[in-house]
Structure 1
Amino acid sequence: MAAQRFGGKYSPDGTPPAGAGSGPHPPIPRAAPGTEKPVGGWRATFLFLSAFIFLFPAFGEEPGAMLLSLLAGGGLILSAWLTREGMRARAAFNARRVARRPAMPRILFGAIATGAALFIGGLIGHGISLYPILFGLAGAGLHIGTFGFDPWTDKGMEGVDRFQTDRVARALAGAEKTLAQMKDAILRARDRQLEARVDRFIAQTRGLMQRVEEDPGDLTAARRYLTVYLEGARDATVKFADLWAIRPDPQARADYEQLLTDLETTFASRSERLLGNDRDNLDIEISVLRDRLKFETPSGSNPS
């Protein structure tokens, strides 16, 4: 008989055991935009550590050389920070089908900072000569060869109205803020299973947001849908967390979890309709969703 992983209501991840039901399986949470881990981030860490080659000896040198060493070390630290941020921006760019190039080429500026730092370091040992220039050019070239370039062109933006995409970006930024408030609210419940449940809800919502980002469709409807969808879920989470902090109530918990399930299975699964032009059906869904989000505390759960 093949081994089977134990699961159930009281398991750490709260997943049901195999064969205990055929309900929906929420997706694995994906990272929020801007938090993607860049590939090869250890190289930026090594670049940061290399700054101490100049910083440690600086305090044993004469004032002029000490100043140059501090500038060289500071330049490498600045380069490491710019490079890491540029790699994160590039990872976020690569993770999306539709994306604009970063507003500031951080990796390129990191290469310039590396070249400047090594140029200053060359001045310490060789003074004003050809060597500091060669050191600077070599450092900038090695940086580019190691970390590459920033994205230089937009991706998937051909024929797309930039004003429309800006409105989408602002709407999704507001949705991300609401999701963060929802996450902060559930932390007050101090229950890891509930936190994991909310994480799965957030993951599915971000999937919907990604579809809106890739194909805005009717932005007015999308923004309205996300507002009702997320703000209602956030308000329900805040209300439940406040109740749970005063007096844990299993019925209130069950109602809250059922609310999240209903939102996932009934509304989020219909996001394709959101991106179409079926405005009448969308308005019906929004009105039903608004009624469902009127989360009320069970009458018997108020503390006496």
Structure 2
Amino acid sequence: MVTDLAAFGLVASGMYMTREGLVAQAGFEARRVAKRPAIPRKLFGGALAGMGLGLGAAMPGAWAEAGLIGAAGMVLHQIAFGLDPWRDKRPDGVDGFQQDRAQRMIDEAEGNLQAMQQAIARLGDRRLTGRVMGFDASVRQLFDRLRDNPGGLGSARRYLGVYLQGARDATVRFADLYVVTGDGAARAAYEAFMDDLQRDFAARADRLLDGDRDALDVEMSVLRDRLAREGLTGAATRLAPEDRPALQSQEAQTLDDLLRMPFPGQKTPRD
């Protein structure tokens, strides 16, 4: 019985690790820029499940067969659920050092968001909880913009550091006050504060996106100027298709006429 319970515990632990690995992989694939999971959960889940199957099938004098069953279970687990992501997803041309700095800043900011959610959850107010979740969505939009453009960390550092820490402290103090007094004026002031803060974070995310567009316009403008200086953009290439003159030939108007034309040096029947 103890052996069977241990086997069940191993299999259950493997399924838990596999579920966590699938959740981590879904988050990894949903982002254009992401770091690989620090722990290969699906791999560990397959190993635990294989060990559980082998232990459950173990019998005196049949250890080799039990090992084969466990190995087969592990292989089938990996075939069914796949492997964990092994490489980071980075866009081309992005500095890895800048990307790591931005990710560390995002990790610290996510801790502040979790502290805000935990503080407001103590009130048990669905409206306030939804208000904080709306602010959380705006901040995570800024996270996504920063992952795509880590060069904007300098302009977003104050938002992810000072402003977000201030929002966390204000939320904790409001929760401590409201749970005791239920002050409606304090609640109205807090909701107005969150509205203003959410608009500011959304505007910062939009400005990061506009910065990407400006960089693209600059690159295209520089490329056009360079091509013009090198003489690769003539007047004919700037004409619209309908403005370009049609090709005309007095000797060949159709493909058959063109094929019947003599090559240079070839004698015709008249010659």
Q: TM-score range by the shorter chain?
A: 0.5 to 0.7
Counterpart of 2:36 in structure 1 is 101
Counterpart of 2:266 in structure 1 is none
Contact 1:101 1:152 in 2 (8 A): yes
Query: Following the alignment from structure 2 to structure 1, what is the Cα–Cα distance between the partners of residues 182 and 136?
Result: 23
Counterpart of 1:13 in structure 2 is none
Query: How many Å apart are 1:98 and its aligned residue?
Result: 0.7
**Matched letter for residue 162 of structure 1:** G
Structure 2 residue 176 is the aligned partner of structure 1 residue 239:
no
Cα distance 1:104–1:233, how it changes in 2: closer, same or farther (>3 A)?
A: closer
* Aligned pairs, number: 211
Query: How many Å apart are 1:102 and its aligned residue?
Result: 2.1
Higher helix share: 2
Q: What does the per-residue CA deviation read over 1:273-292, in whole Å, with 9 as the maximum and x for residues that have no partner? A: 24639xxxxxxxxxxxxxxx
Query: Could you tell me the percent identity over the aligned residues?
Result: 48
Contact 2:10 2:51 in 1 (8 A): yes
Counterpart of 2:207 in structure 1 is 273
Q: Say which SS state the counterpart of residue 97 (structure 1) adopts.
A: coil
RMSD after superposition: 2.7
Question: Aligned ranges for residues 1-304 of structure 1 at < 5 Å?
Answer: 58-59=1-2, 66=3, 69=4, 71-124=6-59, 127-129=62-64, 131-274=65-208, 276=211
Query: How many Å apart are 1:266 and its aligned residue?
Result: 4.2
Aligned structure 1 segments of 4 or more residues deviating by more than 6 angstroms: none
Query: How many Å apart are 1:189 and its aligned residue?
Result: 4.0
TM-score (norm 1): 0.60
**Matched letter for residue 77 of structure 2:** H
Query: How many Å apart are 1:171 and its aligned residue?
Result: 0.8
Query: Following the alignment from structure 1 to structure 2, what is the Cα–Cα distance between the partners of residues 98 and 160?
Result: 10
Query: Following the alignment from structure 1 to structure 2, what is the Cα–Cα distance between the partners of residues 90 and 180?
Result: 21
Q: Say which SS state the counterpart of residue 90 (structure 2) adopts.
A: coil
Contact 2:121 2:129 in 1 (8 A): yes
Cα distance 1:247–1:112, how it changes in 2: closer, same or farther (>3 A)?
A: closer
**Matched letter for residue 7 of structure 2:** A
- Which structure 2 residue ranges, 5 or more long, are not aligned? 213-271
Cα distance 1:170–1:71, how it changes in 2: closer, same or farther (>3 A)?
A: same
Query: How many Å apart are 1:242 and its aligned residue?
Result: 3.4
Query: How many Å apart are 1:246 and its aligned residue?
Result: 4.0
Contact 1:126 1:132 in 2 (8 A): no
Cα distance 1:241–1:138, how it changes in 2: closer, same or farther (>3 A)?
A: closer
- Which structure 1 residue ranges, 5 or more long, are not aligned? 1-57, 60-65, 278-304
Q: Which region of structure 1 is more displaced relative to structure 2, 181-190 or 203-212?
A: 181-190
TM-score (norm 2): 0.67
Query: How many Å apart are 1:208 and its aligned residue?
Result: 1.4
Query: Following the alignment from structure 1 to structure 2, what is the Cα–Cα distance between the partners of residues 86 and 232?
Result: 34
Cα distance 1:241–1:142, how it changes in 2: closer, same or farther (>3 A)?
A: same
Query: Following the alignment from structure 1 to structure 2, what is the Cα–Cα distance between the partners of residues 242 and 77?
Result: 40
Query: How many Å apart are 1:159 and its aligned residue?
Result: 3.7
Cα distance 1:205–1:119, how it changes in 2: closer, same or farther (>3 A)?
A: same
